[in-house]
Amino acid sequence: MDEPTLGARIQTLRPKVASARRRESRAGAVAVALLFLGVLLTIVSAQGFLPLPWWAWSFGSLIAIVATARLRARLTRRRLTAEIALQWLERSLSRLQDRFDFGQDDGEGYLEETHPFARDLDLFGPGSLYHRINTTHTVLGRDALAETLSSTGPDARERQALVQELAVDSAFREDAEVAWCLLEKRNPKDRRDLERLERTTRSLLESPAPWLNEGPGPVAKTLAWIGTLTGTAAALGAFFELWPLAVLAAVWAIQLFILIGFAAPVSRRLVFFETLRTTLDAWTEVLTRIEAWQPQSALGQRLVAPLHEGTPASLAVRRLKVLADRLSWRRNAFFAFSFGVLWMWDLHAWSGLANWWRRNGERVGPIFRSAARIEAELALATYAAAVPGDADASFTSDTWLAAEGLEHPLLPRAERVANDLSLERAGRVDLVTGSNMSGKSTFLRAAGLAVVMARLGLPVAARSFGLHPDLGVVTCMRVEDSLRRGASRFFAEATRLATCLEATNHAPATLCLLDEILAGTNSKERHEATEALLDALTQRPAITLVATHDLELAELAGQHPDQVRVFHFRDQADGDTMVFDYQRREGVLPATNALRVLRALGLPIPNE
């Protein structure tokens, strides 16, 4: 949807949200009024001032209160649904206006130091690609989005087809947003409870725990049914005074003793399922929405397939919720020590859960993994819909990378500067020289992010973008020493460069982005080592972009004109102020600005 359409829908929906809030408030007020009226009528009727007995007024008032409470619950749901839809529209409009921060998780916890490009290309952390894209509401969705961004899988065309399909299907994205937001609102508020829920939910993606398949044995099942029949008969006989209460008490005591023997395995399952129980209803609704989706893309069809194998996933999870509720009844002390004992309730509830898990346990992981992947893909599609001016990548085997008007997608749109980039063949090295702060590193990151985003199926911040689908990415840009690992900056950087070389062995071609490498040694050894490294990269299926201040490396262009090109970024002096245009130009940088920077900061650098 474009801005005018979104603005019109927002203006239409706001009065509906206000109306829903008023109706919900009135229903709550009516319920309170009915409570006081019921108490008053009960008291008055007890004094003989009303024709019906007091219990009739109490019972009638209770029915009216319950009916009003159920009505209010429905009105609350409608209000929440309208509020979520309004928030979704408002955020969609904000994204179109280049505002992407809504307090969402920035994914910093997913950053892996050994990842070939995540840190250097700002995939995770404040202001990162993850931060900009993330619209997920569940821990599984966040995990799936992080895994998707970190993946180097070869399914770029399939991902693009799915993202494009979802980007234009705003109705499904809005509908899914409501379902996932309602699920998020079921999460506990206490941090420890939330962490326990997230751990338990993540465990659903693993192979079913063996103990979940284990139900009561044949002896226990037999005792359960005998106990249920005996307890029911004892209770009925005592109620109709067919035998003394002592018989009922003896049966109760024997069955309580039996249940105590099974308390440990039942309690273990109670803790597991009670953690999930509050969200299973909401997961049922999420799965129902996904099941109704009929994707046209091949990847979308594969993602929804596990939900339709056998019993629909939503029905299976709803049944699990019912069984988990039955087990949780043992938390009610009155029920647990009355009917719970007489009916051997724990054993029946345990048996029902075990039977469900034996039938459906192998499906649980694929079902929730599919739901998580779809939530992650919806986040990608929401971003794609928010950048209609960006270019969808065209995948071709004719060139490795061809970009017109390439920009850095994480910068505010008003501050971006476009540059062209063409990488036709492997074995090529582009040396990028330039003044400090002139845009060398930003240009390298823009190129790397463009490849990553295109392979995710996302639009690229460029006028046009062509990419070979098999082009990989590896970087050596932000390398730091590590006191914990006992590694100096030079050793850490050398290790990362070895990783870059190794990465070129595992793809038809790899885009290597290197920024001021080997700064931790003397200039002579640095120059020699860098020259040797670049020479090695020209012999491999690598396309290398190197940002450097070592102008002597530019001599490689003269020695290997077919393999090495030189570009530069520059600045212009305006008095004591440096002005940058962030434009890439061919050739060697004609002048540097290091001394001017130091002088401008007040350091004792003499004028030239």
- For every residue of 245-269, DSSP letters joined together read HHHHHHHHHHHHHHHHHTHHHHHHH
CB 295, CB 324: distance < 8 Å: no
**pLDDT-based confidence at 577, cuts 50/70/90?**
low
pLDDT category of residue 151 using cuts at 50, 70 and 90? confident
The pTM for the full model equals 0.89
User: Which amino acid is it at 13?
Assistant: L
Q: Residue 502: helix, strand or coil by DSSP?
A: helix
At residue 481 the predicted structure's pLDDT band, cuts being 50, 70 and 90, is: low
Instruction: Flag whether pLDDT at 12 surpasses 80.
Output: yes
For the chain, give the mean pLDDT: 87
pLDDT at residue 490 in the model: 76
Give the pLDDT of residue 580. 75
For the ranges 52-61, 137-146, 559-568, the maximum mean pLDDT occurs at 137-146
pLDDT for 486 equals: 44
Structure-model confidence comparison of residues 491 and 102, the more confident one = 102
3-state secondary structure of 432: strand
Kindly indicate the confidence band of residue 106, based on its pLDDT and cuts at 50, 70 and 90.
very high
Q: Do the strands 401-406 and 419-423 form a parallel or antiparallel pair, or are they unpaired?
A: antiparallel
Task: Provide the residue count of the chain.
Answer: 608
Residue 47 has pLDDT above 80, yes or no: no
Please choose, from the candidates 595, 494, 592, the residue with its C-alpha nearest in 3D space to the C-alpha of residue 548.
Answer: 592
The pair phi, psi for residue 199, each rounded to 5°, is -65, -45
Edge-to-edge order in the sheet of strand 419-423 = 394-395, 464-467, 401-406, 419-423
Angstrom distances, CA of residue 172 to CA of 102, 118, 179, 300, 381? 21, 31, 11, 13, 11
Distance CA 300, CA 166 (A): 9
What does DSSP assign to residue 589? -
CA-to-CA distance for 181 and 358, rounded, in angstroms? 31
Q: Are strands 509-515 and 542-547 parallel, antiparallel or unpaired?
A: parallel
How far apart (Å, rounded) are the C-alpha atoms in residues 406 and 430? 16
Q: Any idea which of 288-292, 300-304, 427-431 has the lowest mean pLDDT?
A: 427-431
**pLDDT higher than threshold 90 for residue 61:** no
The mean pLDDT value for 475-495 works out to 69
Q: What percent of the chain has pLDDT over 70?
A: 93
413-419 average pLDDT score:
91
Measured distance CA(388)–CA(167) in Å, rounded: 10
- Rounded-to-integer distance, Cα 237 and Cα 248, Å: 8
| pLDDT value at 222 more than 60 | yes
CA dist 463 and 177 (Å) reads 31
- CA-CA distance, 291 to 308, in Å (whole number)? 7
Q: Does an H or E element contain 602, and which?
A: none
Confidence class for position 371, pLDDT limits 50, 70, 90: very high
Helical segments of 169-262, H only: 170-185, 191-203, 210-213, 218-239, 245-261
Residue 44 is predicted with a pLDDT of 81
Closest CA to 250 of 232, 236, 231: 231
User: Could you tell me if 170 and 9 are in contact, meaning their C-beta atoms sit under 8 angstroms apart?
Assistant: no
Per-position b or e across 154-172, b if 16+ CB within 10 A of its CB: ebbbbbbbbbbbbbebbeb
Estimate the crossing angle of helix 54-96 against helix 3-46, to 10 degrees. Answer: 170
What is the per-residue pLDDT for 483? 42
Contact 427, 453 (CB under 8 A): no
Residue 573 has what pLDDT? 60
Give the model's confidence band at 285: pLDDT under 50 very low, under 70 low, under 90 confident, else very high: very high
Residue 572's SS3 state is: strand
Q: Nearest 5°: CA angle at 439, between 587 and 448?
A: 95
How far is it, in rounded angstroms, from Cα 276 to Cα 286?
Answer: 15
Residue scoring higher pLDDT (94 or 43): 94
User: DSSP code of 461?
Assistant: S
Residue 597 is predicted with a pLDDT of: 57
Query: Looking at residues 32-39, what average pLDDT do you find?
Result: 86
